[in-house]
Structure 1
Amino acid sequence: ADTIKAIIAKQTRLVQGRVGLHEIDPAPQYILKVCCSQEYLFERKSALVHYTYVQNCLQRGDIPRLTPVLLKDVLECLCLPVPDSLPVEVPSTIADPSPLPLPSVIDLYGPEEKLEKGETCIDLWDLKDFFSLTVRSAQKLTQAPSADQLDASSLLAGSPSFGDLSTSSLDATIASPVGNETSINSTLSAPASTGSFSSMLPMSTTAASGMLPDAGSVSVSKYMVRVGLAHGGQLLAKYQNTLGAMTGSGSGATLQWNQSLNFRLIYSNLPLATRVCVVLLQVKRRPGRIMEFPVGWANMNLFDERGYLVTGKRTLPLWRSSFTSPETETAHQLNLTGTVAENPDPEFTLVLDFCHPGSQKSHIRFPISRFTSVVHGNALQASNSSLPPTQTASDVDLRNLQDLIHRDPFYELSEQDKALLWRTRDSCCRTLFPAESLPWLVQAVSWERLELVEEFYRLLASWPRPLPVETCLQLLGVAGLAGSVTAAEDTFGVAEGTAGTTGGSSGGYVMAGGRTTGVADPLVRDIAVQGLQAGLSNMELADYLLQLVQVVRTEAFLINPLTCFLLKRALECPTQIGIRLCWHLRSQLDNADARLRFSLILDALCRGFGPQLLLFIHEQVNALHRLTGLAISVKRLAEEEEQRTWFKSQLLRSDVRHDLGDILSPLRFSIKLGPVVEQQCTVKRSKKRPLWIVWANPDNLGIHHHKLHQLLFKHGDDLRQDMLTLQLLRVMDHIWKEEGLNLDLTIYDCLSTGEDTGLIEVVRHSQTIMSIQGQRVRSAMQIDSSQLHKWFLQKKAPPLGSDTAYEEAIRRFTNSCAGYCVATFVLGIRDRHNDNIMVDDSGRLFHIDFGHILNNKKKKFGITRERVPFVLTSDFACVIARGEEKPYRSKEFIEFTRLCEDAYRILRRHSNLLLTLLAMMLPSGLPELTCVGDLEYVRKTLAVEQTDEEDALNYFNAKFNEAYNGAWTTKIDWF
Structure 2
Amino acid sequence: MPPGKYGMQEEWEKEDQQITMDFLLPTGIFLKFPVSRNDTIKSIKKMVWKNARSEALYSALDDPDGYVFTCINQTAEREELEEESRRLSDVRPFMCVLKLVAREGDRVEKLTNTQISQLIGKGLHEFEAQKNHEVNEFRTKMRTFCEEKAQERESLPWQQWMEFSFPCELEPCCAPPESSSVKPKNSKKIFIQIKFESCQVSCRSESYIHTYIFSCLRNGQNPHLTMIHHSTIVKYQEEQSKVCSQVSKSGSLSRPPPLPLKKVRGRLSLTLLFSSFTGTKKYCFFLVVQAGLFHGSELLCKVVTTSEVTVCSEPLWDQKLEFDINVADLPRMSRLCFALYAVIEKAKKPRGTKKKNKKAMTGKDCPIAWVNTMVFDYKDQLKTGEFLLSTWPSVPDDKSDLLNPMGTVEKNPNIDSAAGLLIRFPNIRPHPLYYPPLDKVLTPPKYILNPPVVFIYGQRKILFPCLKKIQKFKIIDNKNSTEFFEDEKELLWKLRTEVRDRYPESLSKLLLITKWNKREDVVQMVSLLRHWPDLPAISALELLDYSFPDPAVRSFTIRCLKKLSDDELLQYLIQLVQVLKYESYLDCDLTTFLLERALSNRRIGHFLFWHLRSEIHVASVSLRFGLILEAYCRGDIHHIKLLTKQVNEALGKMKALSDIVKSGSQKMTVDDLKLCIRQESYLDALSDLYSPLNPSIFLADICVEKCRFMDSKMKPLWLMYLNPSLQGDMMGIIFKNGDDLRQDMLTLQMIQLMENLWKTEGLDLRMIPYGCLSTGNKMGLIEVVKNSDTIANIQRNSSNSAATAAFNKDALLNWLKSKNPEDKLEQAIEEFTLSCAGYCVATYVLGIGDRHNDNIMIRETGQLFHIDFGHFLGNFKRKLGINRERVPFILTYDFVHVIQQGRTNNSEKFERFREYCERAYKILCRNGTLFVNLFTMMKAAGLPELTSFKDIQYLKDSLALGKSEDEALKNFKVKFNEALRESWKTKVNWMMHSLAKDNRP
Common fold by TM > 0.5: yes
* Counterpart Cα distance in 1 of 2:752 and 2:224: 30
Q: Computing the radius of gyration over CA atoms, which structure comes out larger, 1 or 2?
A: 2
Sort the Cα spacing of 1:256 and 1:65 in 2 relative to 1 into closer, same or farther, 3 A.
Answer: farther
1:738 counterpart residue number: 760
Secondary structure of the structure 2 residue equivalent to 1:69:
coil
CA offset digits 1:748-779 (Å, max 9, x no partner): 11000011111000112222222333444479
Aligned to 2:50: none
**1:309 CA drift (Å):** 0.5
Provide the C-alpha distance between the structure 2 equivalents of 1:580 and 1:410, rounded to a whole number of angstroms.
33
TM alignment of 1:663-812, pairs within 5 A: 663-699=689-725, 702-703=726-727, 706-777=728-799, 784-798=808-822, 802=823, 805-812=824-831
Aligned equivalents of 1:647, 1:57: Cα separation in 2: 47
| Alignment equivalent of 1:523, drawn from 526, 533, 552 | 552
**Structure 1 pair 44/291, CA: closer, same or farther in 2 (3 Å)?**
closer
Distance in 1 separating the partners of 2:880 and 2:367: 35
Query: Is 2:242 the partner of 1:213?
Result: no
Q: Report 1:394-793 matches (<5 A).
A: 394=464, 398-401=468-471, 403-408=474-479, 410-430=481-501, 432-434=502-504, 436-465=505-534, 467-477=535-545, 517-533=546-562, 535-574=563-602, 576-610=603-637, 612-621=638-647, 622-637=649-664, 642-699=668-725, 702-703=726-727, 706-777=728-799, 784-793=808-817
Q: Which amino acid aligns with 2:912?
A: E
Q: Once the 2 structures are TM-superposed, how far is the Cα of residue 291 of structure 1 from its aligned partner?
A: 4.4
For this pair of structures, how many residues does the alignment match? 769
Structure showing greater relative contact order (alpha-carbon pairs closer than 8 Å, 6 or more residues apart):
1
TM-superposed CA distance for 1:120, in Å, is: 5.3
Match of 1:282 in 2: 342
8 Å CA contact 2:248–2:254 kept in 1: the answer is: no
Residue of 296, 300, 312 corresponding to 2:385: 312
Q: Does the alignment pair 1:131 with 2:147?
A: no
Q: Using the TM superposition, give the Cα deviation of residue 518 of structure 1 relative to its aligned residue in structure 2, in angstroms.
A: 3.6
Question: How big is the shift at 1:796?
Answer: 3.1
Q: 2:858, 2:198 → 1: CA distance? A: 37
Instruction: Determine whether 1:354 maps to 2:430.
Output: no
CA distance, structure 1, for counterparts of residue 896 and residue 286 of structure 2:
66
1:916 deviates by 0.8
Go from structure 1 to structure 2 and tell me whether the alpha carbon gap of 1:90 and 1:665 turns closer, same or farther (over 3 Å shift).
Answer: farther
What's the counterpart of residue 860 of structure 2? 841
Distance change (3 Å), C-alpha of 1:881 and 1:112: farther
- Provide the rounded CA distance (Å) in 1 between the counterparts of 2:255 and 2:902: 91
Which of 972, 976, 988 is the equivalent residue of 1:956? 972
Query: Secondary structure of the residue that 1:630 maps to in structure 2?
Result: helix
- In the alignment, structure 2 segments of 5+ residues that lack a partner are 1-157, 177-186, 234-246, 349-361, 454-462, 992-1001
In structure 2, give the amino acid aligned to 1:650. C
| 1:869 corresponding residue in structure 2 | 888
* Bigger mean CA deviation after superposition, 925-934 or 854-863: 854-863
Instruction: Report the Cα distance in structure 2 between the residues aligned to 1:322 and 1:886, rounded to whole angstroms.
Output: 58
Give distance in 2, aligned partners of 1:638 and 1:708. 33
2:297 to 211, 224, 233: 233
Structure 1 residues 72 and 339 mapped into 2: Cα distance closer, same or farther (>3 Å)?
closer
Q: Which residue of 2 aligns with 1:912?
A: 929
Distance 2:651 2:943 in 1: 23
How much has 1:43 moved relative to structure 2?
A: 8.3
Contact 1:626-1:656 within 8 A present in 2 as well: yes
Shift of 1:579: 1.0
Provide the C-alpha distance between the structure 1 equivalents of 2:248 and 2:530, rounded to a whole number of angstroms. Answer: 20
Q: Structure 1 CA distance, aligned partners of 2:754 and 2:517?
A: 40
Distance (whole Å) between structure 1 residues aligned to residue 849 and residue 253 of structure 2: 64
User: For 1:560 and 1:878, how far apart are their aligned partners in 2?
Assistant: 56
Amino acid at match of 2:298: Q
Q: What is the CA deviation profile of residues 799-845 of structure 1, one whole-angstrom value per residue up to 9, with x for unaligned ones? A: xxx1xx33322222111111100000000111112221122232211
Q: Which residue identity is paired with 2:763? A: L
Matched residue of 2:669: which SS? helix
**What is residue 170 of structure 1 aligned with on the other side?**
none
SS of aligned partner of 1:790: helix
CA distance in 1 between counterparts of 2:464 and 2:254 reads 57
Q: Deviations over 1:626-682 (max 9, x none)?
A: 101111110125887x43121111011111101101111111111111121111101
Q: CA deviation at 1:604?
A: 1.0
Taking the aligned partners of 1:759 and 1:358, their CA distance within structure 2 comes to 56
Question: Structure 2 matches for 1:83-482, cutoff 5 A?
Answer: 83=212, 85-87=215-217, 88=222, 121-140=258-277, 212-214=279-281, 220-247=284-311, 252-284=312-344, 286=346, 291-324=364-397, 329-331=398-400, 333-346=402-415, 347-359=418-430, 362-370=431-439, 381-384=443-446, 392=453, 394=464, 398-401=468-471, 403-408=474-479, 410-430=481-501, 432-434=502-504, 436-465=505-534, 467-477=535-545
CA distance in 2, matches of 1:305, 1:860: 51
| Deviation of the 1:94 alpha carbon | 7.6
Deviations 1:378-420 (A, max 9, x none): xx542347x9878647169634357323333643233233222
Q: Quick one: which amino acid aligns to residue 771 of structure 1?
A: N
Distance 2:871 2:898 in 1: 27
- Structure 1 residues 787 and 282: CA distance shift in structure 2, 3 A: closer
Distance 1:755 1:306, change over 3 A: same
Are residues 123 and 323 of structure 1, via their aligned partners in 2, closer, same or farther at CA, if it must alter by over 3 Å?
Answer: closer
Could you tell me whether the CA contact under 8 Å between 2:382 and 2:435 is conserved in 1?
yes
SS at match of 1:908: helix
Query: What's 1:204 paired with?
Result: none
1:944 is displaced (CA, Å) by 1.4
- Given that 1:397 and 1:420 are in contact with CA atoms closer than 8 Å, whether structure 2 keeps it comes out as no
Cα distance change, pair 426–111 in 1 and its aligned pair in 2 (3 A): farther
SS in 1 for 2:599: helix
Q: TM-score normalised to the size of structure 2?
A: 0.72
1:89–1:518: structure 2 CA closer, same or farther, 3 Å change rule?
A: farther
Cα distance, 1:880 vs. partner? 1.1
Aligned pair in 2 of structure 1 residues 558, 65: CA closer, same or farther (>3 Å)? farther
TM normalised by structure 1 equals 0.74
Question: 1:66 Cα shift?
Answer: 7.0
Partner of 1:968: 984
Q: Decide whether the 8 Å contact of 1:721 with 1:850 is kept in 2.
A: yes
Bigger shift: residues 127-136 or 870-879: 127-136
Amino acid at match of 2:554: R
Check the 8 A contact 2:389/2:422 in 1, yes or no.
Answer: yes
Structure 1 vs Structure 2: percent identity of aligned residues?
Answer: 36
| SS of residue matched to 1:343 | coil
SS of the equivalent of 2:275 reads: strand
Q: 2:367 and 2:734 mapped to 1: Cα distance?
A: 43
Please give the alpha-carbon distance, in whole angstroms, between the structure 2 residues aligned to 1:760 and 1:586: 17
CA contact (8 A) 2:173 2:762 kept: no
State the alpha-carbon separation in 2 of the partners of residues 57 and 671 from structure 1: 26
Whether contact under 8 Å (1:476, 1:519) holds in the other structure is: yes
Deviation at 1:117, TM superposition (A): 11
Q: Does 1:897 align with 2:944?
A: no
